[in-house]
Amino acid sequence: MLQISYIRLHADTVKERLAVKNFKDISLVDELLQLDENLRQQKTATETLQASINAASKEIGMLMGKGDKDTAEQKKQEVASLKNELSEKNAALVALEENFNNKILLLPNLPHTSVPLGKTPEDNEVVREGGAKPNLPANAQPHWELIKKYDLIDFETGARLTGSGFPLYKGKGAKLQRALIQYFLDYNTQAGYTEYLPPLMVNEATAYGTGQLPDKEGQMYHITADGFYMIPTAEVPVTNVYSNEIVKETSLPIKMTAYTPCFRREAGSFGADVRGLNRVHQFDKVEIIQLVHPAKSYDVLEEMVQHVEKLLQLLELPYRILRLCGGDMSFASALTYDFEVFSAAQQKWLEVSSVSNFETFQTNRMKVRYKDESGKTQLVHSLNGSSLALPRIVAALLENNQTEDGIHLPKVLHNYFGATGIEGII
C-alpha cells in the first residue's frame, strides 16, 4: 500500500508512475487527496471535542474526590450534550476512514524508474540469456509424453481424486520432486537463508499483508467455513512472519526460504498452455524472501537475481531473464525480473521464477519497521523470488535431457535423486 504522506508530497510523480503501470483509474489519486484532506479536518474536530470531554471527566473525578457532588452533577449534564455532538462527528469520521482505507488499497505499487514501458508480455525486456539450447532429434517428445513413458505423474487419477490440474506424482516422478525440493532448500540455506515450513492456509489479514487481497481474491482457494485461504505461494505466510514488528536495524537483512505446495485457481486458461505441467492448480515451489534496509534493496534484488540465475546454471538449463514492463508487473511490485527456461520439445519459454522488489508496499500493510540512527521508525523493504517453481523445471529437465535410453539429470541432482537419470519404466 502506498503511503499517503508520500502521495501528498508527490502527487504528480505518483500519477506519472501509475501511468507506467497502465493503471486506469488515475483520478483515484486526486480523490484520495481530497478524502485525506476531509479526513484530517474531521479528525481534528473530533479529537478536539474528545479532549474537552476528557478534561471535563477528569474534573468530575476531582470534584467527586472533594465531595462537591452538586458541581459534579452539573458537569455531567454538560458532558452529556457534548457526547451527542461527538457521536455524530465520530460516525462521520469512521465513514470517511473506511472509505479512505478501502480506496488506498486499490492503488498498485509504483514501478521503479528502470521499468520498461509496455502493456503486454511482448514488451518485457530481455536482460540476458544463458545456457545452451539442446539439439533434439525430430522425434523428441514433449514432457507430458515422457511423463507417461516413464510413469512419473498420473494426471488422470489426480483429476479423479480432486480435479484437473492436481497432479499425482508417482515413483521416480515423486522422488524427483523430493530431490529438487531438497536441493533447492540446501542451495538457499547455504547462501544464508533460514529455512521455514509455514502453514499452508492463512487468514485474511495475512493475505492482505502481502497484497493478495483485495487484488487477487479470485485466484486463491477460499476455505469459507473458517475464513482461511490456501496459500498461492510461500511468500504470503513467510513475509508475514515479521508483521507488526519493529526489528533491530542490525538484524537486517532477514533472509528466509521455504518450500511449500502452492495453490492457484488460475481461471480462464486453456489449450496448449495448460498441457502437462505447464499450468496446474497445485504445485511445489521453494521461495526466497528478504526483509532489508531500504537503501540496499536494489542491490539485494540483483543479488537474488544472481542467486536464482546460478541455480539455473547448475541445473544446466537454457534460460533468459526478463525485466517486466509496467503492464505485465504484479500489483505489489516495484521491479520484477522473470526467469524463463526453454523447454526444448515444446519450443517454449516457461516462467520458473519471478524475483521482485516490493519496496515498502507490503511492509506498509504488514507494519514491518526498524528504527534508524536518529530513532525514527522506518518501513523495511521486502523482496522475494522463486528458487524455484518445480513443475516447469521438471518439464524442461525432461524435455531437454531426453535420450534414447532415458532422461539424464544434471550432476547436482545425482546425489539427491540417487541416480544419474531416469531410465525405463519404474
Partner RNA sequence: GGAGACGUGUCCGAGUGGUUGAAGGAGCACGCCUGGAAAGUGUGUAUACGGGAAACUGUAUCAAGGGUUCGAAUCCCUUCGUCUCCGCCA
The CA distance from 61 to 24, in Å, is 56
Q: Is the dihedral of CA 326, 231, 387, 312 positive or negative?
A: negative
- Do 107 and 30 contact (CB within 8 A), yes or no? no
Nearest C-alpha neighbor of 38 from the set 103, 92, 107: 92
If the CB atoms of residues 103 and 148 are measured against RNA, the closer one turns out to be 103
Shortest Å, Cβ 108 to RNA: 20
CA distances from 394 to 191, 208, 260, 337, 384 (A): 23, 32, 16, 21, 22
Q: What is the DSSP string of 345-394?
A: TTTEEEEEEEEEE-TTHHHHHHTEEEE-TTS-EEEPEEEEEEEEEHHHHH
If the CB atoms of residues 56 and 136 are measured against RNA, the closer one turns out to be 56
Residue 155, C-alpha cell as written in the block: 494426471
If the CB atoms of residues 63 and 179 are measured against RNA, the closer one turns out to be 63
The CA distance from 174 to 283, in Å, is 12
Shortest Å, Cβ 157 to RNA: 23
Shortest Å, Cβ 165 to RNA: 27
Shortest Å, Cβ 23 to RNA: 23
Shortest Å, Cβ 358 to RNA: 18
If the CB atoms of residues 12 and 226 are measured against RNA, the closer one turns out to be 226
If the CB atoms of residues 8 and 178 are measured against RNA, the closer one turns out to be 8
Tell me the HSE value of 355 on the side-chain side, using a 13 A CA sphere.
23
If the CB atoms of residues 57 and 306 are measured against RNA, the closer one turns out to be 57
If the CB atoms of residues 302 and 372 are measured against RNA, the closer one turns out to be 372
If the CB atoms of residues 57 and 415 are measured against RNA, the closer one turns out to be 57
CB atoms within 10 A of CB 151: 15
Site of grid cell 534460460: 319
Shortest Å, Cβ 360 to RNA: 11
Q: What is the DSSP string of 297-323?
A: HHHHHHHHHHHHHHHHHHTT--EEEEE
Counting DSSP H helices and E strands in the chain, the numbers are: 13, 19
Shortest Å, Cβ 78 to RNA: 9
The CA distance from 170 to 182, in Å, is 17
| Amino acid found at 106 | L
Q: How far is CA 149 from the centre of its chain?
A: 36
Per CB under 7 A, residues contacting RNA are 4-5, 40, 43-44, 47-48, 50-51, 53-58, 60-62, 64-65, 76, 79-80, 83, 246, 369, 371, 377
Shortest Å, Cβ 13 to RNA: 19
If the CB atoms of residues 80 and 272 are measured against RNA, the closer one turns out to be 80
Shortest Å, Cβ 112 to RNA: 23
